[in-house]
Amino acid sequence: MEIKDSKILVTGGTGLVGSAIKKISPTYDYNFIFVSSKDADLTKYNETYSLFKKHEPDFVIHLAACVGGLFKNMNQKVDMFEINNLINFNVVKISHEFKVKKLICCLSTCIFPDKTTYPIDETMLHNGPPHSSNDAYAYAKRMLEVHCKAYQEQYNDNFICVIPTNIYGPHDNYSLDDGHVIPALTHRCYLAKQNNKPFRVLGSGTPLRQFIYSEDLAQLFMWTLENYNGKESLILSVGEKNEVPIKKVATEIAKSFNYEHMMEFDSSFSDGQYKKTADNTKLMNFIKEYNFIDINEGIKRSVEWFKDNFDSCRK
């Protein structure tokens, strides 16, 4: 697909994933437009329309969402459902109105059915209800996929979805309450060490997760834009063998602060899903091989970024 000099609108352009795409964007000769809610509140149809009218993008990488870890998903289900449905409805509908050549939308491996066989692949998305901890977010995301498919079938629009696993890296949201596990524990370990207090990990530490470093995901987004011509959704994840327990992740974070000796687990907090093992075979059949950044190295880089940007980062 000829994309050179085309305009690529990246919604959610200031977030974890958007920032990673921005970092690698100079190595591509396309005209990237990274936007945030300061440019347009995508929950508002008129603001979304004006944004598209201003830029008339050829391609859209749609990342903007109300995003958070397990505890934000459990405690803010109305926002998760309403904000994400509004954003997604507007972006998909207006992408059609402006004849966007390719729209790539973003789901998540946490929206798959809770009661399922493993590993989970792209065909299993609607085979049962999602885990109760994030059902509001999950159903909003599933409707995004349904919406894209409807435009494919009725108008032959090239609107597709990718399904990343848990993402981490620089520019994450390091909020103690709303953040995902790696940024939240990074922040919590920093404070524990500063105050010489125990490093409290929430839950039992036994659940399993696959983590993809944001800059690896950014490369896969660009590969998808340029090379993936399928209509079906595509899981973007490290392999099953890279699945790790939360305890391992907490330990690596504590090591990065040289603070392993003070770690403790608080099982009064939810574990969320025990696992959501995703199958990346479809992706690997296309790209043959990819050296994902190792979790230990990725955590080191994320912790260093947090320390270097403590004053300005989201927390």
Which residues are part of the catalytic machinery?
137
Nearer to ligand NAP, 13 or 205 (CB): 13
User: Of 52, 59, 89, 137, which lies in the binding site for ligand GFB, with binding defined by CB under 6 A?
Assistant: 137
Q: Which does 41 bind (CB under 5 to 8 A by kind): ligand NAP, ligand GFB, none?
A: ligand NAP
Q: Which does 65 bind (CB under 5 to 8 A by kind): ligand NAP, ligand GFB, none?
A: ligand NAP
State yes or no: residue 189 binds ligand GFB (CB under 6 A). no
Q: Which does 89 bind (CB under 5 to 8 A by kind): ligand NAP, ligand GFB, none?
A: none
Nearer to ligand NAP, 193 or 282 (CB): 282
**Nearest residue to 306 (alpha-carbon basis) of 175, 206, 207:** 175
State yes or no: residue 169 binds ligand GFB (CB under 6 A). no
Residue 252 Cβ vs ligand NAP, minimum distance, rounded to whole Å: 17
Residue 87 Cβ vs ligand NAP, minimum distance, rounded to whole Å: 6
13 with 63: CB under 8 angstroms? yes
The count of residues interacting with ligand GFB (CB under 6 A) is 27
* Alpha-carbon distances, residue 142 vs 85, 215, 292 (angstroms): 10, 25, 27
Residue 235 Cβ vs ligand NAP, minimum distance, rounded to whole Å: 11
Residue 222 identity: M
Q: Who contacts 18 (Cβ-Cβ below 8 Å, separation ≥6)?
A: 10, 11, 12, 34, 36, 63
Distance CA(161)–CA(208), nearest Å, equals: 24
**Nearest residue to 298 (alpha-carbon basis) of 165, 118, 106, 110:** 165
Residue 221 identity: F
User: Of 43, 48, 88, 166, which lies in the binding site for ligand GFB, with binding defined by CB under 6 A?
Assistant: 166
20 with 26: CB under 8 angstroms? no
**Nearest residue to 222 (alpha-carbon basis) of 22, 50, 42:** 22
Residue 198 Cβ vs ligand NAP, minimum distance, rounded to whole Å: 26
Give the SS3 label for residue 215. helix
52 with 98: CB under 8 angstroms? yes
Nearer to ligand GFB, 153 or 266 (CB): 266
Q: Which two tokens stand for residue 236?
A: 């973007």
Beta-bridged to residue 168, according to DSSP, are 213
Q: Which does 272 bind (CB under 5 to 8 A by kind): ligand GFB, ligand NAP, none?
A: ligand GFB
Distance CA(230)–CA(206), nearest Å, equals: 36
User: Of 62, 77, 209, 315, which lies in the binding site for ligand GFB, with binding defined by CB under 6 A?
Assistant: 209
Interacting positions 248-267 with ligand GFB (CB under 6 A): none
Nearer to ligand GFB, 185 or 236 (CB): 185
**How far, in whole angstroms, is CA 276 from its chain's centroid?**
15
State yes or no: residue 207 binds ligand GFB (CB under 6 A). yes
Residues near ligand NAP (CB under 6 A) are: 12-18, 36-38, 41-43, 63-67, 87, 106, 108, 164, 166-167, 173, 180
Residue 218 Cβ vs ligand NAP, minimum distance, rounded to whole Å: 10
Tokens 């050296």, residue located: 291
State yes or no: residue 62 binds ligand GFB (CB under 6 A). no
**Which DSSP string do the residues of 269-305 spell out, in sequence order?**
S----S--PBP-HHHHHHH----PPPHHHHHHHHHHH
Residue 245 Cβ vs ligand GFB, minimum distance, rounded to whole Å: 9
Interface residues with ligand GFB (CB under 6 A) are: 69-71, 73, 108, 110, 133-134, 137, 166, 179-181, 184-185, 188, 201-203, 207, 209, 246, 269-273
